[in-house]
Structure 1
Amino acid sequence: MPETYWTVRWPDGTEERLYSPSSVVAELFEAGKSYPIDDFQTRSRIAMERASNRVERKFGFACSSAMAQLDRIETRITQFKYAGGEIACLDISQ
């Protein structure tokens, strides 16, 4: 369950490095691909919930870091929700 970092480009052109306690993000995102905002949000929820669940199965407690990352993603998405655009996944690394 390697920690994984993924870099995204938001619709305003800013880039951000995101965190996952698990490589599950590589199952839902592909480097070099862009996602409509709603799709990105759905995939992020699934990824962070799966990552947290994997941590819970291994260590007996959910991963607060995964859920905090999801909160930050969802907060950031609210800025773009009605403006449209896509979020690009630039890189996924362990």
Structure 2
Amino acid sequence: MPEMTVTVRWPDGGVADCYSPSLVMHDHLEPGATYRIDEFTRRSSTALAEASERVRARYGFTCSASAASLDRIRATASRFDAADLVEVLAMQPPLPPASEETP
């Protein structure tokens, strides 16, 4: 199962890496996008829950690193107003380019 890191810039200028055990973060966040704190927290929560479920389905237990990542996101987000903005700087690894269909 591929792992990934999402790098974000918080409203105070701090930069942090958020770990996910799955590329599912790409389904919920976009590199270069800016989100309100409440929206970023909601999207991250949904994505990390899905990632943890994928780990459970594959290995029989949820991902504690995913839960710890969400705890860090929530703790950091709580220092800001819900309308403050967080920017997704990078997502590693990036999604592979979509292959072109041949006729």
User: Structure 1: any 5+ residue segments left out of the alignment?
Assistant: none
Q: Following superposition of structure 1 onto structure 2, how do residues 5-84 of structure 1 map, counting pairs within 5 Å? A: 5-81=5-81, 84=83
Q: Counterpart amino acid of 1:4?
A: M
Q: Secondary structure at the match of 2:31?
A: coil
Q: Counterpart amino acid of 2:18?
A: L
- Displacement of 1:81 in angstroms is 2.8
Aligned length: 93
Per-residue CA deviation, residues 1-32 of structure 1 (Å, 9 max, x unaligned), is 31001100000011111100000111100000
Measure, in 1, the Cα distance between the counterparts of 2:77 and 2:28: 18
Larger RCO (CA within 8 A; separation ≥ 6): 1
Measure, in 2, the Cα distance between the counterparts of 1:49 and 1:81: 24
Q: Which runs of 4+ in 1 moved over 4 A?
A: none
Structure 2 counterpart of 1:91: 90
Measure, in 1, the Cα distance between the counterparts of 2:63 and 2:91: 20
TM-score by length of 1: 0.95
User: Structure 2: any 5+ residue segments left out of the alignment?
Assistant: 94-103
For the aligned residues, what is the CA RMSD?
Answer: 1.0
TM-score by length of 2: 0.87
State the percentage of identical aligned residues.
42
